[in-house]
Amino acid sequence: MSKILVGLKRVVDYNVRVRVKPDGTGVVTDGVKMSINPFDEIALEEALRIKEKGGAAEVIVVSIGPADTQQQLRTGLAMGADRAILVQTDGAVEPLAAARVFLKLVEKESPQLVILGKQGIDDDNNQTGQMLAALWNRPQATFASKVELDGAKAKVTREVDAGLETIEVDLPAVITSDLRLNEPRYVKLPDIMKAKKKQLDTLAIADLGVDAGAQFKTLQYSPPASRQKGIMVKDVAGLVEALKQKGLM
Amino acid sequence: MARILVVAEHANGKLNPATAKCVACASGIQGAEIDVAVLAADAGAVAKEAAAIQGVKRVLKIENAANAEPLAAILAPQVAAAAANYTHVFGPSTTFGKDLMPRVAALLGVGQLSDIMAVESDYKFRRPVYAGNAVITVEASKDKKLVATVRTASFQPAASGGNASVESANVSAELPTHTRFVTRSAAKTGRPDLQTASRVVSGGRALGSADNFKIIYSLADKLGAAVGASRAAVDAGYAANDLQVGQTGKIIAPELYVAIGISGAIQHLTGIKDARTIVAINKDSEAPIFEVADIGLVGDLFTILPELEKAL
Ligand SMILES: Cc1cc2nc3c(=O)[nH]c(=O)nc-3n(C[C@H](O)[C@H](O)[C@H](O)COP(=O)(O)OP(=O)(O)OC[C@H]3O[C@@H](n4cnc5c(N)ncnc54)[C@H](O)[C@@H]3O)c2cc1C
Ligand SMILES: Nc1ncnc2c1ncn2[C@@H]1O[C@H](COP(=O)(O)O)[C@@H](O)[C@H]1O
């Protein structure tokens, strides 16, 4: 029976108000809460549901990141993943390098499906799934809001600018999750205990023979341009008057 | 010298304005030579529109029956083949471009720069990260082809009035059969398009039901505005998914944005940062939306909106 590979990226929690360091070398991450990228939780939830319906035998969660990323992988195991792989590196990993790492693992594990998030909410790149699909020479179904498996095919509904688009892809394939694909389950305490006994393998990125060499260099981080302070109006008449003053009515 | 290929986005025989915005971005690179590629079953009408964008030198028609629908797996090998003689390949940061361009980049063995918001030089750009909470200045390696998407809300479309040559390009690329188009459902509303409208009225969770959401449509119609929504309103089924504004929905830059019953979560705000004037109506005076609003009104939307409609 088949396997599903799921990517779990460790990112600054979505509730944190991210601030740029005064010296412009990055954003403040000291003491900041780190979590699984929200899209990846959705990706994992989808994989688990497919497995629970008999569509897969094993769900493997994969993360590329520093040693601390074990926390996020343990959370993934507690959600229900069967085992975890940490590809350890302390440096930044560009999406192309991440895709190359996933390709190596795909070659090793031969999954039927790889489900990633549509974007990491840290760098907002939205690239890795598409790149993996290209390198693997397999279909991509990005921004998925519905996945229906049918033997060696999948029908995927995608959230696109025009509305909803449905495509059919042959398996194996890469799917990237959009927000409305599902609502991830909460982790229960006993599951956290059980997850401690599950298998978590650690490899170094160099062991996979992937060159993480960077094409892009970030020269500076700046805070976004701030908007001018606005005015408060008391009532509808005040609102209409303010709109008129701005030439909007 | 930079030689830039812009991948056109189009539907139903019409060019998407995002393409002229990509040309505007490309024109920000000094001395750039800009070509536009139109991939379609029949590229004629779209190519003609693209040829009229100022700053475009040549339009390449890449025609194939398989290009009838914009499937990334099928378009990417053709774009990658066409990209051979270019230093830069740009596409819009729409769902079309986000789906396609990383696949093109990987086929070319290079990375991608997402969401260019400003050009500093041929290999130096600015882009937002962390839902727009930070802006980074990025330098790309000069010895690699640069594939990038352009954050359309950051650029005005390049003017029309140009007169580029139109040529048929022969690209040899093997096209996969593993990906097939089934259907697309787009709501036809007769209202302005959210991505390009100069005015947008958006509703949030506070509307409470799809039925109540109608008052948003009604106000929008009075203002000649497009309709938008927060994620909460879309998730709850009050509004269609293509109306979502924000980090993971549409990033827009209208003249006027009216946020009604929307709290102003960071993921929503990142979609409206470039709006000229933001109006917020919310019953909670502490709602974060008021921190970015140019005009704020505290109160119950269900009493304010009928009054406002009457006053218009
Ligand atoms: C990864 C990720 C991506 C996301 N992407 C997006 C995105 O693209 N776009 C997006 O919008 N959100 C996005 N979100 C969700 C976001 O965090 C918020 O949850 C969402 O924007 C809240 O929507 P809302 O403002 O409508 O609802 P709420 O936050 O519940 O706010 C409702 C507001 O209505 C006001 N209100 C209630 N009743 C009335 C009344 N009668 N009259 C006037 N005001 C009233 C309340 O005071 C409140 O401020 C994302 C979240 C995550 C985790
Ligand atoms: N370092 C990483 N570790 C695990 N998964 C990743 C990593 N980088 C990217 N991904 C996966 O790829 C998706 C898209 O990421 P990105 O292209 O960086 O926006 C994420 O949602 C993850 O599923």
Confidence of residue B146 (pLDDT cuts 50, 70, 90): very high
What single-letter amino acid sits at A176? T
pLDDT, mean of residues A92-96: 94
Q: What is the mean pLDDT of chain A?
A: 96
Write down the pTM of the prediction.
0.96
Show residues of chain B in contact with A161, CB under 8 Å. Answer: 94-96, 195, 242, 250
Confidence of residue B199 (pLDDT cuts 50, 70, 90): very high
Please tell me the predicted confidence (pLDDT) of residue A1.
60
Specify the residue with its C-alpha closest to ligand 2, atom 6: A9
Contact B131 A123 (CB under 8 A): no
User: pLDDT by residue (tens digit) across B37-58?
Assistant: 999 999 999 999 999 999 999 9
How far is residue B64 from each of residues A34, A197, B10, B288, measured CA to CA in Å? 47, 54, 15, 50
Please tell me the predicted confidence (pLDDT) of residue A249.
84
pLDDT, mean of residues A165-187: 97
Please tell me the predicted confidence (pLDDT) of residue B114.
98
Contact A219 B137 (CB under 8 A): yes
Confidence of residue B105 (pLDDT cuts 50, 70, 90): very high
Ligand 2: which residues within 6 Å by Cβ?
A 7-9, 37, 39-40, 43, 62-65, 93, 95, 98, 116-117, 119-120, 123, 125-129
- Candidate from A125, A161, A179, A183 with most ligand 1 atoms within 8 A of CB, to mutate: A179
User: pLDDT by residue (tens digit) across A214-249?
Assistant: 899 999 999 998 888 899 999 999 999 999 999 998
Tokens of residue B263, six digits: 């709290």
Residue pair A81/A44 in contact (Cβ under 8 Å)? The answer is yes
Q: Measure CA B77 to chain center.
A: 23
Residue B134 has pLDDT above 90, yes or no: yes
Query: Ligand 2 centroid vs A46 CA: distance in angstroms?
Result: 16
Query: Ligand 1 centroid vs B233 CA: distance in angstroms?
Result: 8
User: pLDDT by residue (tens digit) across B72-103?
Assistant: 999 999 999 999 999 999 999 999 999 999 99
Task: Identify which of A218, A201, A136 has the alpha carbon closest to the alpha carbon of residue A171.
Answer: A136
From CA A118, how far away is CA A130, in angstroms rounded? 9
Show residues of chain A in contact with B68, CB under 8 Å. Answer: none
DSSP β-ladder status, B179-185 and A163-170: antiparallel
Tokens of residue B83, six digits: 């990209």
Q: What is the mean pLDDT of chain B?
A: 96
Residue A23 has pLDDT above 70, yes or no: yes
Please tell me the predicted confidence (pLDDT) of residue B187.
72
DSSP β-ladder status, B226-229 and B199-203: parallel
Q: What is the CA radius of gyration of chain B?
A: 21
Contact B134 A222 (CB under 8 A): yes
From CA B4, how far away is CA B36, in angstroms rounded? 8
Closest-CA residue of B relative to A237 is: B311
User: pLDDT by residue (tens digit) across A188-205?
Assistant: 989 999 999 999 999 999
> Which ligand minimizes its atom distance to the CA of A9?
2
Our CA-based measurement puts residue B301 at a distance from the nearest CA of chain A, in whole angstroms, of 11
